[in-house]
Structure 1
Amino acid sequence: MSDLIQRFTFADLPIRGEIISLEKSFQTICDQHQYSKTLRHLLGEALAATALMAEIIKIEGRVSLQLQSPSQVKLLVTECNNHGHIRGVMHPLDPEVSDYNFKQWTQGGTLAITIEPEQGHRYQGIVSLEKESLSECLEDYFTSSEQLPTYLKLFVGENRINGVFLQAMPDDSSQQKDKAAAFEHVTTLAETITDEEALSLSHHDLLYRLFHQDKVTLYDAKPIQFQCGCSRERNERALLTIEPQELMQLAEEHDGKVELVCDFCSKKEVFTQQEIAELVTTNQGSQSVN
């Protein structure tokens, strides 16, 4: 089992769930930036949480999580689209920090969830950073924004992440009292998961261990993989946001070229002065026609 996400439901309970395991994609993202074990913990949690949210929200597009603070986490960005492609980057204040403390690392910061459908309007929600962990903050966000009781548990090993997401079903005919009892039942069981079990058992075996007395249906697995969305075309659009004269001057100051490096995957794109001049000329021509 490698990088997979799966949906599951209960036949007799108004609860839905998702379970995720990340390994290869997590290692790839961490190795690109040589993150320490301590930094990997928060980045891993954010990657798994973002992929779970993308699957729960179910849009044709992408979901991103962005955290900024004047404390340890200057910037953390993770993204996942409907194809299961994830990427992430983190800029810490201290790359060698030894103790992981979510609340201290994010003190004075902001956490936003952005939903960007391919068709339709972009939506952004702000998440409170009052809790002791990322998962608790996201639980509160879903509970308050969707009015649906939500449970999120994340497990991070050195090279592996697992996560379990549980949520009361929307628009269910069950009475609120019954829904609350069902949610308490499944979350009480989920709280018994140990780190060792979460990081070693298959999705099927873990769910059986937890809910073997309930009728659970585990649906087909969806693969998750690292894939960066950077491209030369995107870099061209970024360059065109700079005034042409300033752009040409920038190239002159750097031996006749401009280099752009992707913050996520570290891929480098080089544009020569001639290529920049052609890009500017083409863009000005298309603007005049329009």
Structure 2
Amino acid sequence: MPDHIQRFTFADLPVRGEIISLEHSFQTISDQHNYSSTLRHLVGEALAATALMADIIKIEGKVALQLQSPSQVKLLVSECNNHGHIRGVLHSLAPDINSYNFRDWAQGGTLAITIEPEQGHRYQGIVSLEKDSLAECLEDYFTSSEQLPTYIKLFIGKDRVTGLFLQAMPNSDNKDQDNKVAFEHVTTLANTITDEEALTLSHHDLLHRLYHQDKVTLYDEKAIKFQCSCSRERNERALLTIEPQELMQLAEEHNGKIELVCDFCSKKEVFTEQELAQLITTNQGTEAVN
């Protein structure tokens, strides 16, 4: 089954939802870095959560989640753009650890959500790390930042990830108690999902299992796939941030070339001294014209 995300709504309840399943992208990202099963667990949670947020926020651009801590997670980054292209990487301080505990792993760290539209200003929000799971931390963030009750549940299997997002709709007619009851209704049912159901049932069957007594509309699938945004052009721009003399000296010290390896997909780009000299000359010519 292709990786995909779907939006759903309730005809008679002021609640919206998103449901996501990742297989190929999750396996590709995990296998590229040979993550252990415990590291795959956190990577899977981050990928699903980021894709859910990207679809909820709905911008022309990308949404990124970044976690750093002195405890276990040296660096975790996951990104998803409006085209459903997803990527992620995790550097662990103890890659062979065999016990996953989010609170311990994130202790003393920082968790940030970055929203980067193609047009407009970049925004970053800091997420509190006071809860026992990534999902609960993100629930608190959405509930406080948007003032809307939010529910997030993430299910991680060996080769598949499923995520469920539920959020109360903005209240426009002062029916706070009715909205609260409706949200409690859908989240109470969501809490009955087993890991096996979440990781084996289709989105349609899972929602039917939960809400067969409610009128639910499940919208068309949106494809999610692993795709890295690295490119030779981006690497060239990065190299041009180094002083020309220093750049050429660096190449000389490394057998006449500079190799750049993408942290996300491990793709290698090699720049020879001749290519670097041409890059510098071309850039200086462009600057002179401007």
Tell me the TM-score range normalised by the shorter chain: over 0.9
> In the alignment, what sits opposite 1:81?
81
> In the alignment, what sits opposite 2:5?
5
Structure 1 position 75, deviation (Å): 0.1
Distance 1:215 1:143 in 2: 25
% identity of equivalent residues:
80
Structure 1 position 286, deviation (Å): 1.0
Distance 2:260 2:282 in 1: 20
SS in 2 for 1:132: coil
Structure 1 position 113, deviation (Å): 0.2
SS in 1 for 2:67: strand
Distance 2:173 2:285 in 1: 59
The unaligned stretches of length 5 or more in structure 2 are none
Distance 1:52 1:172 in 2: 25
Structure 1 position 170, deviation (Å): 2.1
Aligned residue runs from structure 1 range 253-268, under 5 A:
253-268=253-268
> In the alignment, what sits opposite 1:39?
39
> In the alignment, what sits opposite 1:273?
273
Q: Which amino acid aligns with 1:75?
A: L
Aligned residue runs from structure 1 range 199-278, under 5 A:
199-278=199-278
> In the alignment, what sits opposite 1:98?
98
> In the alignment, what sits opposite 2:193?
193
Distance 1:122 1:169 in 2: 25
RMSD over equivalenced CA pairs, Å: 0.7
Distance 1:118 1:186 in 2: 35
Q: Which amino acid aligns with 2:262?
A: C
SS in 2 for 1:279: helix
SS in 1 for 2:165: strand
> In the alignment, what sits opposite 2:128?
128
Structure 1 position 174, deviation (Å): 5.5
> In the alignment, what sits opposite 2:30?
30
Cα deviation, 1:126-167, whole Å, max 9, x if unaligned, reads 000010000000000000000010000000000100010000
Q: Which amino acid aligns with 2:242?
A: I
SS in 2 for 1:121: coil
> In the alignment, what sits opposite 1:17?
17
Distance 1:181 1:2 in 2: 35
Structure 1 position 171, deviation (Å): 4.6
SS in 1 for 2:66: strand
Cα deviation, 1:165-191, whole Å, max 9, x if unaligned, reads 000112543611111111100000000
Q: Which amino acid aligns with 2:79?
A: E
Distance 2:173 2:13 in 1: 11
The unaligned stretches of length 5 or more in structure 1 are none
Structure 1 position 288, deviation (Å): 1.6
Structure 1 position 289, deviation (Å): 1.5
TM-score for the superposition, normalised by structure 2: 0.99
Structure 1 position 71, deviation (Å): 1.1
TM-score for the superposition, normalised by structure 1: 0.99
SS in 1 for 2:265: coil
Q: Which amino acid aligns with 2:112?
A: A
Change (3 A) 1:172 1:9: farther
Aligned residues: 290
> In the alignment, what sits opposite 1:118?
118
Distance 1:136 1:242 in 2: 42
